[in-house]
Amino acid sequence: MHPLYITTPIYYVNAKPHIGHAYTTIVCDIFVRFNRMFGRDVFFSTGTDEHGKKIEQSANNAGIEPQLFTDNISQLFKDLLPVLNITNDDFIRTTELRHKNAVTHFWSRLKESGHIYLGEYSGWYDIRNEAYFSEDELVDGRSPLGGNVHYMTEECYFFKLSEFQDKLLNFYEQNPDFIFPMQRRNEVLSFVKRGLNDLAISRTTFSWGIPVPNDPKHVIYVWLDALTNYLTLNGYPDVDQANNERWQNVIHFVGKEIVRFHAVYWPAFLMAADLPPPRQIVSHGWWLSEGEKMSKSVGNVQDPIKYCKLFGSDALRYFLLRELSFGEDGNFSLAGFIGRYNAVLANAYGNLCSRVFSFVLKNCDGSVKRPPTLTGDDQLFVAAVDSELRESVSLFQRYAFSKYLEHLEHAMSLANQYMDSQKPWALRTSDRDRMEEALFWMVEQIYKITRLFYPVIPICAEKVFNQLGIAMNDAMSLSGAVPDEFHIREIETLFPRIDQFSDDFDVFSDD
């Protein structure tokens, strides 16, 4: 199996992280854990994007030096990772020396290979998104990304993007999976087919950036700087990327608004430097908050830390993955969160574990053994669960994360129904052997469901494996067979029901 390299975007440090940033990082972490569970070697990176006019302005507004300003906010992004239970291997800051070296080297490669020239640029500049737009791209006097624009002219270096139209179109054709989902692929194709202008890749109107080699009054365009983080993290320029397996299998997870940077500019830069383009750009939709775009001024920015403190990171990870159909937009609301939490984590899953485990603990001394044969109702039950689990894995592999969870939930319902229909409490006096048989299959199905649920709810999954007397590592090696015996220990409430009217929710109105 070839290794994988999974990246989150590197986040701007102009404000503290919110639920949208947490979402991408969590989705990547779940994807990474899932693949590691299947034995794949995965390198997983995240970090912060710290240069550019927007950051310089935010630092000025706060009355602090940009370096100190970025130190503070970058730390908030870093501190969020353990709170969300993220298993990243590295965290990059674009203000680090290793990154400045990589960017400077990358620029020099592009220059030497004749893809950069000095010219003059005029256009409508969107500071928030650090991008120029032409008159006809503006929407109601704003940039197509929604930011305020003003007209600017500056001397700047250009990247000969116009030369890459055919190369990119060929590349998309030969790699039909390069952009996920299809809708984004179609948008990129039509954008490139309309023709590409050369791209302004340096700025002289501010200084908070990496200087252009041999022309330090220019700083390097923040997107060229930021995209290069993916190479820095893989040891560029010391490591030869052209023959590097990890680089050949890099997947960038991004929000839909930055697909163009990753799927057009980035492969063009890489081709120009004689390096392979990434393997795939996987894009997701946006979280709205209580029905509206999250923004500080509306006051509806959702803080992931509050949710983790109150309900645990597993619950937040579950809700984010389940609520949003991956690729589409979705709505974040406290009521939606509580609804799903109670229905699935507390009732369907938590209750299933506790009723089956406590019954086995009380009535079978905690132990159940695999029966010699699998027949009748048991066979139908196990086959039905297996079919749900197979479907859930296949959906996961196609990035249909919410549907993957939906099928795990079907499997939980099947197990709950089996407990109801088999009535082990009645068999206790009439047919103990039959009771023990049915219970084994129930416990085994819970175990199998939990293994596939693990990437989403790792803390709870570990508790369940503990309750079942199985070491986490053994449970996680999917190559290992399912145990023939389970020895249930103490029972612990996994997800206590949330009382909708709890005073705890006062924390949601304190800012």
- Name the site residues for ligand ME8 (rule: CB under 6 A): 9-12, 20-21, 23-24, 49, 226-227, 229, 254-255, 258, 286-287, 294
Q: Give the shortest CB-287-to-ligand ME8 separation in angstroms.
A: 4
H or E, element range at 252? strand 250-255
Q: Which is nearer to ligand ME8, 131 or 315 (CB)?
A: 131
Q: Give the shortest CB-21-to-ligand ME8 separation in angstroms.
A: 5
Q: How many angstroms separate the Cα of 422 from the Cα of each of 42, 417, 439?
A: 42, 8, 9
Q: Which is nearer to ligand ME8, 10 or 443 (CB)?
A: 10
Q: Give the shortest CB-334-to-ligand ME8 separation in angstroms.
A: 16
Helix ranges (DSSP H) in 228-373: 229-232, 245-248, 259-260, 266-272, 304-311, 313-323, 334-340, 352-363
Cβ burial of 271 (10 Å; 0-12, 13-18, 19+) is: middle
* Three-class secondary structure of residue 208 per DSSP: coil
Residue type, 420: D
Q: Terminal CA-to-CA distance of the chain, rounded, Å?
A: 48
Q: Give the shortest CB-294-to-ligand ME8 separation in angstroms.
A: 5
Q: Which is nearer to ligand ME8, 334 or 361 (CB)?
A: 334
Q: Give the shortest CB-351-to-ligand ME8 separation in angstroms.
A: 31
Sheet with strand 211-212: strands edge to edge = 202-203, 215-220, 211-212
DSSP 281: E
Q: Which is nearer to ligand ME8, 178 or 418 (CB)?
A: 178
Q: What gap in Å lies between CA 263 and CA 260, rounded to an integer?
A: 5
State CA 38 to chain mean position distance. 18
Indicate the residue whose CB is closest to ligand ME8.
20
Q: Which is nearer to ligand ME8, 3 or 255 (CB)?
A: 255
Q: Which is nearer to ligand ME8, 9 or 209 (CB)?
A: 9
Q: Give the shortest CB-289-to-ligand ME8 separation in angstroms.
A: 8
Q: Which is nearer to ligand ME8, 99 or 340 (CB)?
A: 99
Q: Give the shortest CB-25-to-ligand ME8 separation in angstroms.
A: 8
Q: Give the shortest CB-240-to-ligand ME8 separation in angstroms.
A: 22
Q: Shortest CA distance to 4 belongs to which of 282, 277, 262, 246?
A: 246
Phi-psi region of 489 (alpha: psi -120 to 50; beta: other; left: phi over 0): beta
* Three-class secondary structure of residue 496 per DSSP: coil
Q: Which is nearer to ligand ME8, 226 or 316 (CB)?
A: 226
